[in-house]
Amino acid sequence: MSSMLSNTSVNSSFVRPATFFINGFSNIPHAKYYYVFLSVAYIVTVLGNSFIMSTIYLARRLHTAKYIAVFNLALSDLCGNSALIPKVIDMFLFNHQDISYEACLANMFFVCHFMNMQSLTLLALAFDRLIAICFPLRYHAIVTKLVMFLIIAFMWIFSVIMFSILVGLLTRLSFCRSTVVNSYFCDHGPIYRLACNDNYINSVMAKICFGLLICLPLLLIIFSYFCIALALSKIAHGRERIKAMKTCSSHLLLVAIFYLPAISLNIAALTASLHPNARIINNSLSQIIPPMLNPIIYTLKTDEVMQSIKELYKRNKVNLIIERNTKCIGRN
């Protein structure tokens, strides 16, 4: 009888809030200008990634295994920022900072999943460069379109499972005190720390996800470039070495832009307590800038993409001339 009463008291003390309040910046004048900047960054991201995806779809020369991964990176960038920025704009420019419990968990899942897909896709591109430079004669036999499709499909399934567990574990937490989230979106860390029951498993799962999905891919990418450097050191002709290095330059830039802010932010958080405002600025820039720059880097730094854009432009120009001539003949 006493055990039944204790269970009832535990159940009655469990609180699942109807809404969370996303706090955003605290005591920063003219903070809305920063959210306007995020809006501009989002427009550039949508245009740039839509352009690179359209180019890959329309240009036959880009229908290769490598550009399947590049297409997936552009898609992840576009979806990740679409999950994040429109909601941020709605919250802080239109003062809708209350978000329902279910919507908050959904927002967290999609933002984290698509950010993670960027990390895993960069690993897939590193694998592509590793085989291309270390095993050039076997490249087309190993890295086929089917193999790349399977790698990306596995990454999607793995990421969905991991973040379903991460977000699902939040449903066991009771929020009996504050529901004010000191972030600019439904951020996992600030939310699970609000719980008034045991959140140890949530903390462990957050560390597992960070280790498996951010740190491990970065270590594998570093290892792949160590192998690439060894292979390039054996190439006698300097011209061939420079040509091989040039094919890696765009990928290395993307890796640096994506991982350096994320890793440095987490190291800073472990070594010292970050002010919520500093955390918001660092987090938002590390989530928004890479998707904005990725298509620009791939367009300007990759000869295949530039050549494909020129060919598509010429083809469209010829089609327009033929169409005009046809209309003129029809009128005459």
User: Residue 272: its pLDDT value, please?
Assistant: 67
CA 66, chain centre distance (Å):
18
Would you state the torsion angle of the CA atoms of residues 280, 164, 110, 284, taken in this order, to the nearest 10 degrees?
10
Pairing of strands 19-22, 98-100: antiparallel
Instruction: Supply the pTM of this predicted model.
Output: 0.88
Integer Cα distance of 195 and 11 in angstroms: 15
Integer-rounded Cα radius of gyration of the chain: 24
pLDDT bucket at 9, cuts 50 / 70 / 90 = very low
The pair phi, psi for residue 234, each rounded to 5°, is -90, -10
**Residue-range domains of the chain with CATH:** 22-316 (1.20.1070.10)
- pLDDT tens digits along 164-203: 999 999 999 999 888 999 899 999 999 999 999 999 999 9
Would you state the torsion angle of the CA atoms of residues 311, 316, 322, 326, taken in this order, to the nearest 10 degrees?
160
Q: Cβ distance 65 to 128 under 8 Å?
A: yes
Q: Cβ distance 129 to 251 under 8 Å?
A: yes
